[in-house]
């Protein structure tokens, strides 16, 4: 892992803006993945390069890179890098080694479906080209990873356009966790309507839940939205109810890491509570997700694997001294599942799905299939 650029608060140009950097990029000259190390934000903007498989796995697992689309892009280029030294192997040995590398990278985080989706696309690209030899398969993998990145930019832009049809100028919008540019190649998912609205002068006021335990709403969403000049207010997670009751929130926009076939969605822990509150106060609750996040092979949210993270993230990670008594048990699931009944609509790049989701999500995937023919 190598540091490419460093900008710590108080040590850098005041015009330095996190949005000036790509969340994930690929350095063709060095044949390395370049990411923003998100564990250091907002106090330090640091770009690092990743080349080895352990470096890439560690970056995904520790959330140096995070957000379902950004994880998928990183994994895609990661599998390409795994294939590079294998290109002189016989075909079967190449495919076996590729399968092993795919399994290794997919083990980094289990909940985000984009991780497995991107790795599967990469494997398919290799298999389509393998008849021309392993070197041709590796080249095809490079091109597929590059397309996954460019596709994400196009998709997020369309998510923003579709989401913008659901709001009005001057609205107060609430978001939970980070589904912004830092979670994608550009624009974000849940934040895409906010960025496009800002371009069009909609004058949104965006409220960001801090989002325990990793504080991604505070460290990342509030940081990037304010960097873009959007009117942004940070609130503690337990303030959402009183804020909604006050009438300041007209809609909730969140991202997600997986959409089940029935419309249940997995997102950062705490999203379920926000959805329950929105339902109580009659506020529309929108999930913004690329179609790659829709997993029709997972019938309901009950089948979505929920990542369990270290209790240290709750008990001591953010404190000068340990905050909780030693020896206690601590729960730290990374995600919860929001029931489809609580979701007003699911915004995708192929349109807006509404209940019943078992039907509308099927239609979205059919549109996706026709678009690729």
Domain residue spans in the chain?
Answer: 2-156, 161-371
143 is catalytic: no
pLDDT at residue 113 in the model: 86
pLDDT tens for each residue of 210-241: 999 999 999 999 999 999 999 999 999 999 99
- Give the pTM: 0.91
End-to-end CA distance of the chain: 40
The DSSP string of 289-323 is: --GGGEETTS-SGGGS---B--THHHHTTTSSS--
List the catalytic residue out of 37, 152, 257, 336: 257
Q: Map residue 159 onto helix, strand or coil.
A: helix
Task: Provide the mean pLDDT of the chain.
Answer: 94
Joined together, the tokens standing for residue 226 give 């304010």
pLDDT tens for each residue of 18-37: 999 999 999 999 999 999 99
pLDDT tens for each residue of 83-115: 999 999 999 999 999 999 999 999 999 887 899
Residue labelled with tokens 């009944």: 341
CATH code for the domain defined by 2-156: 1.20.120.420
User: For residues 71 and 117, is the Cβ–Cβ distance under 8 A?
Assistant: no
**2-156 and 161-371: same fold?**
no
CATH code for the domain defined by 161-371: 3.40.50.10470
Average pLDDT of the residues in 39-51: 96
Joined together, the tokens standing for residue 306 give 């929920």
Q: How far apart are CA 369 and CA 373, in angstroms?
A: 7
């Amino acid at each position: 892992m190598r540091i490419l650029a460093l900008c710590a608060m108080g040590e850098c140009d005041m015009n330095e803006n996190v949005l000036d950097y790509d969340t994930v990029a690929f350095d063709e000259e060095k044949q390395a993945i370049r990411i923003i190390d998100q564990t250091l934000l907002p106090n330090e903007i640091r770009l690092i390069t990743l080349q080895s498989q352990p470096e890439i796995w560690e970056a995904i697992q520790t959330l140096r890179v995070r957000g379902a689309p950004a994880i998928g892009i990183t994994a895609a280029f990661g599998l390409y890098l795994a294939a590079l030294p294998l290109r002189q192997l016989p075909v079967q040995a190449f495919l076996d080694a590729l399968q092993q590398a795919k399994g290794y990278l997919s083990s980094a985080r289990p909940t985000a479906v984009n991780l497995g989706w991107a790795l599967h696309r990469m494997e398919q690209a290799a298999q389509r080209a393998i008849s021309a030899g392993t070197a041709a398969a590796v080249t095809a993998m490079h091109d597929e990873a590059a397309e996954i990145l460019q596709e994400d930019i196009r998709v997020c832009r369309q998510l923003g356009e579709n989401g913008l049809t659901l709001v009005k100028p001057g609205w107060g919008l609430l978001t939970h966790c980070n589904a912004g540019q830092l979670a994608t190649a550009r624009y974000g998912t849940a934040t895409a309507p906010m960025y496009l609205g800002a371009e069009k002068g909609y004058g949104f006021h965006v409220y960001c839940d801090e989002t325990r335990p990793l504080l991604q709403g505070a460290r990342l969403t509030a940081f990037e939205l304010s960097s873009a000049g959007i009117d942004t207010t940070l609130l503690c997670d337990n303030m959402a109810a009183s804020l909604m009751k006050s009438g300041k929130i007209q809609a909730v926009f969140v991202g997600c890491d997986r959409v089940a076939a029935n419309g249940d969605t997995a997102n950062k822990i705490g999203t379920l509570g926000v959805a329950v509150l929105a339902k109580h106060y009659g506020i529309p609750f929108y999930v913004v997700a690329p179609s790659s996040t829709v997993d029709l092979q997972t019938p309901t949210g009950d089948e979505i694997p929920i990542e369990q993270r270290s209790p240290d993230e709750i008990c001591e990670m953010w404190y000068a001294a340990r905050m909780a008594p030693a020896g206690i048990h601590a729960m730290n699931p990374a995600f919860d599942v929001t029931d489809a009944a609580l979701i007003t609509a699911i915004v995708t790049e192929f349109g807006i799905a509404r209940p019943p989701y078992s039907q509308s999500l099927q239609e979205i995937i059919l549109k996706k299939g026709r678009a690729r023919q």
